[in-house]
Amino acid sequence: MRDRLGKFEVMRLLGRGAMGEVYLGRDPKLGREVALKVITAGSVVGEEAQERFEREARAAALLNHPHIVTIYEFGEDEGLHYLAMEYVHGEELEALIRGGKAPKLELLEILAQVCEGLAYAHEHGVIHRDIKPANILVNRHGKRLRAKLMDFGLAQMGPTGLTQAGTWMGTVSYMAPEYLDSGQASCGSDIFAMGVILYEILTGGRKPFTGDTTTLVLNRILLHPPDPLLPTELQQVSGTLLKVVEQALAKRPEDRYPDAEALGAAIREAMKAPLAVVQAAVPRPPLPPNSEGTGQQIRVGKGGQGQCLSLKVALRQAGPGAEITLLPGTYRESVVVDKDVTILAQGKPGEVVIAGVAGPAIVIQTRGAVLRGLTLKAPADAVALRIASGAPLLEACTLQAGDCCAQLEGAGTAPVFRDCSFLAEGPVGLRMDSGTLARLEGGRIEGFLVAGVDMGAGTQLSLHGVTVGPGGGVGLKVRTRSQATLDGCALSAEGGGLEVEGEARAMLSHCRLLGSRFAGLLALEHSQAVLESCDIGGHACSGVHVLAGANVVLRQCRLTGNGGFGVSILDRGLATLEGCLVQANGGAGLLIHHGATVQARSCTFSEGQSLGVDCSEGGQGVLDGCEISGNAGAGVQVESGGSLLLVRCTLKEGRDTGLLLLEDSQVTLEECVVHRNARGGILLAREAADPILRGGNRIEDGFLRVDGGGNLVRVAPV
């Protein structure tokens, strides 16, 4: 590092991050120490970081507050951009929380101070978007700790073209539910992040929403309450802080504090409350249904062993919390469960059948009913199970119907199905009406003609270890504004594995989407999908098909053996691939088409029966650290109107050309290797422009161009 940056003397390195470094500096005229943040321009990452850098300077220039780090100067010195800011002698709030040495009351006062600075930023139209303990510096003035909010590199200051609408920025654990749904940040999403920090202060660093993968964390933020606070975590503070945490972490922004100033005032008010209420105020997990039952037991069945002959009669006799046992047999009746009771099947699976007469076998209209081991059947035009309200639990049940196996009605209805079988003989296995929620753990859904699960608008679904298919339609249809989370599931349906539409969102982890007549994943109409460690193969068309402005992220996924494309992105679609294997597909491993944008990092596109990567008709993309090898067609083909940047990529061992450029295409290669391709390294159409080469490429197979007579002529690169 040089000795000076602009007018500032550089003294020593303070820290290094993903996009730059921070040095301790000195202003020789004023004699004060400064922190110098630097970023080197020129690379792809550098250009993005520079824009973030300038954003931070613009945001901080609007703000002058004792609890916000002050920016002194933004400049450039011989290609090196720097930001000179207030140097704070102290440490990050994250270290204080995890160290456990600072009293919680001191940390709460720090957070209240941050609320003051954040309220000031919001008043000036600046939304931080990356509130977290690592972005709060703390120093001590005498006996008093002082907080400084820093790093406005992701701040939002009104409309901006820097970040595409609907995409996420920041740190996942601190993202608000509505931000995950829309990608649109607000003052309320900053307040939610402050609520997460408040929770961490109380727990010594434990986060309110946890999971083994990013997908599971997102699922918990969107669908679940925060993990309960423990009595031992509240021994130093007032229990009234529980209400502050609950309001700050409310799912709906309108239920949170109206502004950061109000949150800070609530924290300070709670700090004054007595500690005696701690034990009583600790929230406990909800009791399972009927855990406080009356002990009443009723047996239903023939042969003198039952107290009554029908379930309908037993329900009239039962009080809340009663346990009703059905003896083996077929009960031809339709019943309404309007009490919190447990209904059990005695015998082997399939020996206790409730067959609806003129409608559903069972209608549930109560909060906490439990059904275990039952087989529910309905006539051809009816539903086997209808849940009109409540959050019942169904375990090891079989649902069989000619219309749909189970239908959820009424906003807030939230059943749990554990190891249940949906044997559809008609259109749908599970139908969810608007505003309903459901969780399926284990079990299977099969035989459907239209959809295994049909999620109505604004519904939420969580599937864990569920098998969907075989079936004639789509495995899972996620409709407008709905949210689906799948973990360890298998989807195999003729019409496709998963269809996401209408600004809906799907998150999949360790799932298998196999064998359809169309696509494993179809992302439509500005939808969003995140897939981690998934297998997608055996589809007649694409493994993943993205269009109409949809945004799809694939991490560590395997897309193999699809009859068409591995991944196809059209119609202004956006896709990000990280560490994916795209192999042995019939069409191009990756198709970037019709104005689509793709970023692929550390991916492999190999052994395809056609092209490795095809960029055409307005498509644009960046491939960083990718391997394109062993494909029957060109490793990479860039057609008219296509634009592609290849950074540190290897194009090798293809049965055709490594890179094929057609007329009106634009390609840049940076530190790439092109070798051992059967037809040559880079082939240029007659009117195609030469690729831009920078950063020491190794092109061993040479350049070829098609001349006016259609012959291949070896040329030297320009």
| Per-residue pLDDT, 161 | 38
The SS3 call for residue 655 is: coil
Q: Please determine, for residue 84, whether its predicted confidence score (pLDDT) is greater than 60.
A: yes
Please give the Cα distance from 617 to 256 (Å, whole number): 46
Arithmetic mean of pLDDT, 595-603: 94
Per-residue pLDDT tens for 335-353?
999 999 999 999 899 999 9
Assigned CATH topology for domain 7-86: Phosphorylase Kinase; domain 1 (3.30.200)
535 DSSP β-pair partners: 512, 558
Per-residue pLDDT tens for 494-530?
999 999 998 899 999 999 999 999 999 999 988 999 9
With contact defined as beta carbons under 8 Å apart, do 381 and 402 qualify?
yes
Arithmetic mean of pLDDT, 33-40: 82
37 in a labelled binding site: yes
| Per-residue pLDDT, 143 | 72
| Per-residue pLDDT, 545 | 97
Arithmetic mean of pLDDT, 138-165: 71
Per-residue pLDDT tens for 252-287?
999 999 999 999 999 999 988 765 333 333 333 344
Catalytic pick from 130, 259, 433, 701? 130
Q: What is the 3-state secondary structure (H, E, C) of 325-353?
A: EECCEEEECCEEECCCCEEEECCCCCCEE
Q: Which residues of the chain form CATH 1.10.510.10?
A: 91-281
Per-residue pLDDT tens for 418-444?
999 999 999 999 999 999 999 999 999
Q: Which residue has the higher pLDDT, 95 or 232?
A: 95
Tell me whether residue 14 is exposed, middle or buried, using C-beta atoms within 10 angstroms of its C-beta: 0 to 12, 13 to 18, 19 or more: middle
* Size of the chain, expressed as the number of residues it contains: 718
98: nearest Cα among 212, 217, 201, 218? 201
598 DSSP β-pair partners: 575, 621
User: Could you tell me what percent of the chain has a pLDDT over 70?
Assistant: 91
Q: Which residues of the chain form CATH 3.30.200.20?
A: 7-86
| Per-residue pLDDT, 294 | 56
Per-residue pLDDT tens for 540-565?
999 999 998 899 999 999 999 999 99
Instruction: Band the pLDDT of 90: cuts 50, 70, 90.
Output: confident
| Per-residue pLDDT, 169 | 61
Q: Please determine, for residue 3, whether its predicted confidence score (pLDDT) is greater than 90.
A: no
Structure tokens at 273: 């409350």
Instruction: Band the pLDDT of 48: cuts 50, 70, 90.
Output: low
Average pLDDT score over the chain: 88
What pTM, to 2 d.p., does this model score?
Answer: 0.68
Instruction: Band the pLDDT of 388: cuts 50, 70, 90.
Output: very high
| Per-residue pLDDT, 230 | 78
| Per-residue pLDDT, 19 | 61
Instruction: Band the pLDDT of 44: cuts 50, 70, 90.
Output: very low
Active site residue 151: no
- b/e sequence 374-392, b meaning 16+ C-beta within 10 Å: bbbbbbeebbbbbbbbbbb
Per-residue pLDDT tens for 447-475?
999 999 999 999 999 999 999 999 999 99
Per-residue pLDDT tens for 362-374?
999 998 899 999 9
| Per-residue pLDDT, 255 | 94
Please give the Cα distance from 408 to 336 (Å, whole number): 15
| Per-residue pLDDT, 50 | 67
| Per-residue pLDDT, 240 | 81
Arithmetic mean of pLDDT, 384-400: 96
Instruction: Band the pLDDT of 208: cuts 50, 70, 90.
Output: very high
Q: Please determine, for residue 670, whether its predicted confidence score (pLDDT) is greater than 50.
A: yes
Please give the Cα distance from 520 to 538 (Å, whole number): 8
Q: Please determine, for residue 602, whether its predicted confidence score (pLDDT) is greater than 60.
A: yes
| Per-residue pLDDT, 566 | 98
Tell me whether residue 500 is exposed, middle or buried, using C-beta atoms within 10 angstroms of its C-beta: 0 to 12, 13 to 18, 19 or more: buried
| Per-residue pLDDT, 292 | 45
Interacting residues of 338 by C-beta distance below 8 A, sequence separation 6+: 315, 365, 366
Q: Please determine, for residue 171, whether its predicted confidence score (pLDDT) is greater than 80.
A: yes
CATH superfamily label, 91-281 = Transferase(Phosphotransferase) domain 1 (1.10.510.10)
Arithmetic mean of pLDDT, 221-232: 83
